[in-house]
Structure 1
Amino acid sequence: MQPYLRIEHHVLRDGANFSSVHEKMIYFLVQSYAGSDGLAFPSHQTLADAVPCGKTTIKTCLQSLIEKGWIEKVKRFDRHGGQTSNGYRICLPERVVSRQEGGAGDDSGSATCRPQRKRG
């Protein structure tokens, strides 16, 4: 685990693409749990304790982040085929991807799920 989390300024300062401060904080927390492959596995309770808020708020915000394309839900299964807890993959908003690839980007807030590359 890295001792810090790098957050792009325009994502941190963005007041339009997140529905609430809870949603923004949950996005950053999930990002802080992500490994080098971009996958994170924090429980709803772990996130609720860190924000702090209730698990219902966590579930609502995670669903909203999934619908907006900021994260992707990854179903996990045990060796017998039974589903275990979900994981989450951090996605880069399209305008961030466009800027990194030399494009102009836009402020539409649309996202493409491309695993975030860890820097460090």
Structure 2
Amino acid sequence: MSIKAMHWAWNHRLQPSAKVLLLALADIADDQGFCWPSNRTLAEKCCTSERTVQRMLKQFEDRGLITIERRFTEAGRQTSNGYRLALGRTPDNLSPSTASCRGEGDNADTPGVTQLCHPRGVIAVSPLEPPHNHHKEPPLQPQGTTNRKSLEISPSVKAAEKSAIEQLLTEIPGTHAQELLDELAYALENRRIHGSAVAWFAGLVRRAKAGLFSPVGAHVIDARRRTQTAVKDQHPKAEHPSDTDTAQHYLAGLQKIVSKRAGHGGLR
């Protein structure tokens, strides 16, 4: 991953689905901003369809965000395209219209946010859940801004991804937000995420809002955190003595030495 490319991608104001795709390109680009993923790979990383990926890539090219390089094998057969990010271009901070960034399956209630795109009739499930698990819970309802300071995010989350993950939790209640973060921590610890943690977590949040989230490993992370908290409460760290206490202890020791020597005929 190129830090320069990720920083460049973050600075562009785009609709959510387009932003995730641009971040996916930056996540696999080299220091010169070049990468050559297939449309299928990008669709899987962004939880969308290949057709939506193709449309948004064309929009990126029209806006000058990327240059598409058609690549061919020695036999003349076309292979996956190469994409060069315009890292030298300053972000124009102009958000495209909602219609231009609306992914396949989006609706007016969730502008620009592409739903998990699967063939019709296929139930979208989290990569951590078995296909037969269709457990449905009531959708999470927005309850204002989440208190981010009280949430614990896995140290495995990259610094460049932390702010995006926090932003995705803006409308998630605090208790449910921590459960989603614990599910993310479990997935990262067990190497279940192959690609962008932000894109994976965005899909998890969408499922939670739709009432389709069923935790797989969140309880493991929560139990470990509770155990660590209980141990700390039972064995609090000893307070460090103040400078005054240290000085008084040192002087008392000197006084004992002086008194002892005085009892043996004085100092020599």
Q: Which structure 1 segments of 5+ residues have no match?
A: 97-106, 110-120
CA shift in 2, pair 1:82/1:68, >3 Å: same
- Aligned mate of 2:38, from 37, 43, 47: 43
- Aligned mate of 2:20, from 21, 25, 38: 25
C-alpha displacement at 1:32, in angstroms?
A: 1.2
Match of 1:12 in 2: 10
Q: Report 1 or 2 for greater relative contact order, CA contacts < 8 Å, sequence distance ≥ 6.
A: 1
The alignment's TM-score, normalised by the length of structure 2, stands at: 0.31
CA shift in 2, pair 1:39/1:59, >3 Å: same
For residues 13 and 40 of structure 1, the distance between their equivalents in structure 2, rounded to whole angstroms, comes to 19
For residues 75 and 14 of structure 1, the distance between their equivalents in structure 2, rounded to whole angstroms, comes to 25
The secondary structure found in structure 1 opposite 2:54 is helix
Counterpart of 2:7, as a letter, is E
For residues 13 and 92 of structure 1, the distance between their equivalents in structure 2, rounded to whole angstroms, comes to 11
For residues 39 and 14 of structure 1, the distance between their equivalents in structure 2, rounded to whole angstroms, comes to 18
Structure having the higher strand fraction is 1
Q: Deviations over 1:14-55 (max 9, x none)?
A: 43xx2x211111111111111234221111111111111111
For residues 93 and 24 of structure 2, the distance between their equivalents in structure 1, rounded to whole angstroms, comes to 23
The secondary structure found in structure 1 opposite 2:55 is helix
Q: State the identity %.
A: 26
Match of 2:67 in 1: 72
CA shift in 2, pair 1:93/1:57, >3 Å: farther
- Residue pair 1:78, 1:84 contacting (<8 A) in 2 also: yes
For residues 12 and 80 of structure 2, the distance between their equivalents in structure 1, rounded to whole angstroms, comes to 30
The secondary structure found in structure 2 opposite 1:36 is coil
CA shift in 2, pair 1:41/1:50, >3 Å: same
Give me the CA root mean square deviation: 2.5
The secondary structure found in structure 2 opposite 1:80 is coil
Match of 1:101 in 2: none
- Residue pair 2:70, 2:80 contacting (<8 A) in 1 also: yes
Counterpart of 1:86, as a letter, is N
CA shift in 2, pair 1:80/1:14, >3 Å: closer
The alignment's TM-score, normalised by the length of structure 1, stands at: 0.63
- Residue pair 1:69, 1:93 contacting (<8 A) in 2 also: no
Structure having the higher helix fraction is 2
Size of the alignment, in residue pairs?
A: 93
CA shift in 2, pair 1:89/1:13, >3 Å: closer
The secondary structure found in structure 2 opposite 1:88 is strand
